[in-house]
């Protein structure tokens, strides 16, 4: 059986010499061995702000927080938005695990699941539960779904955005 739940790269594809060089550069800068701002390294946040600007999003470093990977960000969000949420079915196994963990510590909410097909999450199914009165704080979706590899169609994304505006929930992608 091949486990497709983790995106583990072939070690031969990893640019080890470049990673070594970059790691050495990092520890040669003494600041990297000291405490830094809670929100993350300022220069990296400034560079990220410029990068998202290239994609048409106006922001600055004060709106950017660095985390140790996507899982930490998802973990913080699931605590912050401690209400009902919607996920697609199937979804990334790591998110389910951290939800169980974070909701175990707090009052939590309900987790609603919406099936997906090759076009992405079935948005009309989401609309049905919203019309019935479900008011999630956020929807968690993965554009290139893990584990299916399905890519959300642009029309589905637009439809999702309309629902998010109408029913006032966030989309975490």
Ligand X SMILES: Cc1ncc(COP(=O)(O)O)c(C=O)c1O
**Residue of 11, 15, 17, 69 that binds ligand X (CB under 6 A):** 69
Distance, CA of 142 to CA of 105 (rounded, Å): 25
The structure tokens 């539960």 sit at 129
Q: Is 65 in the site for ligand X (CB under 6 A)?
A: no
Dihedral sign, CA of 119, 120, 125, 130?
A: negative
Residue 143 CB neighbour total at 10 angstroms: 10
CA dist 16 to 11, 12, 22, 24, 26, Å?
Answer: 9, 9, 10, 12, 15
Q: Is 133 in the site for ligand X (CB under 6 A)?
A: no
Span from 22-30, 68-76, 79-87, 163-171 in contact with ligand X (CB under 6 A): 68-76
Q: Which is nearer to ligand X, 14 or 60 (CB)?
A: 14
Applying CB under 6 A, which of residues 70, 76, 80, 161 lies at the interface with ligand X? 70
94 contacts ligand X (rule: CB under 6 A): yes
What lies within 8 Å, CB to CB, of 44 at 6+ separation is 66
Residue with smaller CB distance to ligand X, 6 or 46: 6
Closest CA to 118 of 151, 87, 89: 151
Could you count the other beta carbons within 10 Å of the beta carbon of residue 159? 17
Site string for ligand X, 5-34 (x = CB under 6 A): -xx---------------------------
Q: Which one of 49, 64, 71, 157 is in contact with ligand X (CB under 6 A)?
A: 71
Is residue 147 within 8 Å of residue 97, measured between CB atoms? no
- 149 is a contact residue toward ligand X (CB under 6 A): no
Choosing from 75, 92, 138, 169, the residue that interacts with ligand X (CB under 6 A) is 92
Residue 118 CB, nearest distance to ligand X (Å)? Answer: 17
Q: Give the binding site for ligand X (CB under 6 A).
A: 6-7, 69-71, 92, 94, 142, 146
């Amino acid at each position: 059986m091949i486990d497709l739940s983790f995106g583990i790269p072939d070690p031969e594809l990893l640019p080890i010499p470049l990673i070594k060089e970059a790691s050495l550069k990092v520890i040669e800068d003494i600041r990297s061995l000291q405490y830094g701002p809670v929100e993350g390294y300022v220069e990296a946040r400034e560079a990220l702000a410029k990068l998202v600007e290239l994609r048409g999003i106006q922001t600055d470093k004060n709106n950017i927080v660095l985390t140790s990977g996507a899982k930490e960000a998802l973990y913080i969000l699931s605590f912050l938005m401690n209400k009902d949420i919607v996920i697609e079915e199937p979804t990334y196994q790591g998110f389910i695990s951290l939800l169980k963990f974070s909701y175990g510590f707090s009052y939590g909410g309900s987790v609603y699941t919406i099936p997906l097909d090759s076009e992405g999450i079935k948005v009309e199914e989401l609309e049905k539960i919203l019309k019935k009165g479900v008011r999630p704080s956020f929807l968690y979706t993965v554009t290139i779904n893990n584990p299916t590899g399905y890519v959300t169609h642009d029309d589905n994304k637009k439809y999702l955005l309309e629902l998010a505006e109408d029913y006032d929930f966030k989309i975490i992608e």
